[in-house]
Structure 1
Amino acid sequence: MLGYSVYLNQPIDEQLERMKRYRDHGFRRIFTSLHIPEENSATYRERLSELGLWAKKNKMHVTADIAADSLGALRLSLNKASQLKDIGIRALRLDDGFDEKSAVALSNQMAIVLNASTLTPQSLAAMLREGMIASQVTACHNFYPRPETGLSRQAFRRSNAWFKEAGLSVAAFFPGDQNCRGPLFKGLPTLEDHRHYSPFAAFVDLLHESVDDLILGDPDMSSQVLEQFIAWDKGVILLHAHPEIQDKKLLKTLSTVQTNRPDEARDCVRSYESRMLHLVDTPILPNHHHRPRPTGSITIDNQCYGRYQGEIQISKHDLAADEKVNRVGRIISKDLPLLQYISGGTKFQIVWESKCTNK
């Protein structure tokens, strides 16, 4: 399930436009944090109720991250799961201060989320023996605001393997690229690898790691990235790129939806349509700028390549300069990780981001 975050330090009515936008684009889960300043408990309870009621009305699933000492401040009780459901909370992520007995009991009343960073195979096995319902439980990883502290991919995979083996679902966070949350404003990813990915690239990567619930950790992401999610639902991967030529007609042609050939190449994405449908007018003269083709280079084979003339490619890794190949643009760095997921038969579309650059 795809989700986003709503933080209660800001009034709900100031966040409604954003909440509706994500709802309309298929985000069904809302994550919120109830780690609250004691002096603001009444305000937070009111905002939580507003959020919950809106979520119930819109058939959204609210997961609230809560520590034991926040329950009393919000006048909530684990013994009254119906009370939590009444205000729209569908699941609780149990953080500091909750014992195994409480988790077991609550799992028999509602969905619960356990902190993946503190959960051990031993404690999980003990809770399952005591009657915890595994199908009601998600192991949710933390997000990591400080650069260099996000999880390694190896550790992430190791823990996810035994979560899945035990019958738990897995949740993780991907970072935003707009209005990043303070105090560091460096994104809120689970994996450190994702710190400098686009939100969409991080999302796709988590999907390929078999994560069940994928949550935008930061409050927002740009409209350009949201367009990538919309295209994804239609089976197309959008790739943002900088042009290196000024030919508007050619750039428009290059921005049509294309398909990677089914016989997937090792070194490049090869446009099926470029030669089969003759997308580019010929002859294509060499541009005499025989530059290296770093990862993400968008190229067209020129007339020196004979029958390959007109083939559009995107390099998957660094390739040498070739006088038979014209370089016409390059995928932006934050979208480069997406290239590994354009397998044979995958549709893609180039979106030009700025004016011509010849770097």
Structure 2
Amino acid sequence: MERRLGISIYPEHSVIEEDKKYIELAAKYGFSRIFMCMLSVSHSKEEIKEHFSNIISYAKTFNFEVVLDIAPNIFDSLGISYDNLSFFHELGADGIRLDLGFDGNKEALLSFNEYHLKIELNMSNDVAYLDNIITYKPNTPFIYGCHNFYPQKGTGLPYDFFLKCSRRFKKYGIRTAAFVSAKNANIGPWNINDGLCTLEGHRNLPIEVQAKHLYATGLIDDVIIGNAYASEKELKALSNINKYQVELSVETLENTSDIEKTILFKEQHFRRGDISSQVARSTEVRKKYAKENIPEHDNKIEFKPGDIVIGNDEFGKYKGELQIILEDCYDERKNLVGRIAKEELILLDFIEPWSKFKLVSKRGK
């Protein structure tokens, strides 16, 4: 399934001209999805229709998919019904997110709405909610899943719980989404905004590391920035990440040679299938660079987890082999050539047997 990037828009708390600038900027960097909040609308039905259709139609000129976040009170205040979704169709939306659920049969019926609106479900509960809906035979391609975000620090999902919730959706092949948080963006649905991420462990991480981690789980298809407005630097950083394999940022040492940099950054790596606990081995590269000179340097030290080493001229047939250190060790036949960025060490858990991975220069980002 294609993986995408998204932004969030809060029309009730922002200026439409600024929203449009943000949409255009996000489109420049390949974003293609918008989470648009309708939870706190307080104007008349006609005013809301005019305002939201304006911003949605603008987003459509850049080919964004727009999903509206709604709650039951919206239907009451606007005098509309779940049995007739024409209002959202007239706004130009592609789907609606149900913050609260029904009995399963209702959601299944909604997925067959005549306007082909996607019905997005709340993923952040480890219950058989989706299983129940599936028993009522929904129009599965029109069912999406999306986690919540958590504006209050200390309230985001713990990682293990996030995995359980997400697996319930992925086992049915449902498109999934989760939120990351921009550092200084301050617009959200409420007056508390300590960041709008799904995972609590992401709250203080760089935005691109949050996204890398979500994609690396293999459980999330769409990564959405929860708060507005992310900076252009953050949008660009997200646009540059590899959505389909783990890509680790590496800072090289001063003595790292050109051939070692070529091995680091110009090759497709994969971890050897018969794994060891001490190192993750990329062994194919040694064959390609067997005749190159790799003199000793930075090799008489204890290597630490996250260090990257390459076999030197004293390592015989293993010369040129690249290894990521997983446990403290010492071996003078290996040169220390780089270190994985500290904030990205959490990604090492995803370098599994036969896992493909790439290395990129942190200085070159």
Shorter-normalised TM range: 0.7 to 0.9
What pairs up with 1:239-258 in 2 under 5 angstroms?
Answer: 239-245=248-254, 249=258, 253=262, 256-258=265-267
Instruction: Please name the residue that 1:357 is paired with.
Output: none
Q: Classify the secondary structure of the residue corresponding to 2:346.
A: helix
Distance in 2 between residues matched to 1:116 and 1:331, nearest whole Å: 32
| RMSD across aligned positions (CA) | 4.1
Q: Does 1:191 align with 2:199?
A: yes
Question: Identity over aligned residues, as a percent?
Answer: 25
Distance 1:232 1:78, change over 3 A: same
Q: Does 1:320 align with 2:323?
A: no
Contact persistence 2:271–2:281 (CA under 8 A): no
What pairs up with 1:33-182 in 2 under 5 angstroms?
Answer: 33-36=37-40, 38=42, 46-71=50-75, 78=82, 80-95=84-99, 100=103, 103=107, 106-109=110-113, 110-117=117-124, 121=128, 125=132, 129=136, 133-163=139-169, 169=174, 171-181=176-186
Distance 1:282 1:117, change over 3 A: closer
Distance in 1 between residues matched to 2:342 and 2:127, nearest whole Å: 37
Distance in 1 between residues matched to 2:154 and 2:181, nearest whole Å: 17
Q: Does 1:336 align with 2:340?
A: no
Distance in 1 between residues matched to 2:128 and 2:255, nearest whole Å: 58
How many residue pairs match? The answer is 348
Q: Does 1:294 align with 2:266?
A: no
CA-to-partner distance for each residue in 1:76-130, whole Å, 9 max, x for gaps?
654542331122211111235x75587566433232223334695379738965x
Contact persistence 1:254–1:350 (CA under 8 A): no
Distance 1:279 1:259, change over 3 A: farther
Contact persistence 1:174–1:199 (CA under 8 A): no
Distance 1:310 1:243, change over 3 A: same
Contact persistence 2:143–2:174 (CA under 8 A): yes
Deviation at 1:142, TM superposition (A): 0.9
User: What residue identity is the alignment partner of 2:18?
Assistant: E
User: What residue identity is the alignment partner of 1:115?
Assistant: N
User: What residue identity is the alignment partner of 1:148?
Assistant: G
Contact persistence 1:171–1:215 (CA under 8 A): no
Distance in 2 between residues matched to 1:15 and 1:255, nearest whole Å: 41
Contact persistence 2:68–2:96 (CA under 8 A): yes
Q: Does 1:14 align with 2:18?
A: yes
Deviation at 1:250, TM superposition (A): 6.6
Distance 1:43 1:91, change over 3 A: same
Distance 1:201 1:73, change over 3 A: same
CA-to-partner distance for each residue in 1:230-271, whole Å, 9 max, x for gaps?
4626x6754223334266857854663222256344343445
Distance 1:296 1:7, change over 3 A: farther
Deviation at 1:319, TM superposition (A): 2.3
Contact persistence 1:284–1:310 (CA under 8 A): no
Q: Classify the secondary structure of the residue corresponding to 1:232.
A: coil
Distance in 2 between residues matched to 1:286 and 1:247, nearest whole Å: 8
Deviation at 1:205, TM superposition (A): 4.3
TM-score normalised over the length of structure 2: 0.74
Picking from 288, 293, 297, the partner of 1:282 is: 293
TM-score normalised over the length of structure 1: 0.75
Contact persistence 2:207–2:234 (CA under 8 A): no
User: What residue identity is the alignment partner of 2:8?
Assistant: S
Deviation at 1:204, TM superposition (A): 4.6
Distance in 1 between residues matched to 2:50 and 2:59, nearest whole Å: 14
Q: Classify the secondary structure of the residue corresponding to 1:172.
A: strand
CA-to-partner distance for each residue in 1:307-330, whole Å, 9 max, x for gaps?
434443322x23223333332331
Contact persistence 1:241–1:351 (CA under 8 A): yes
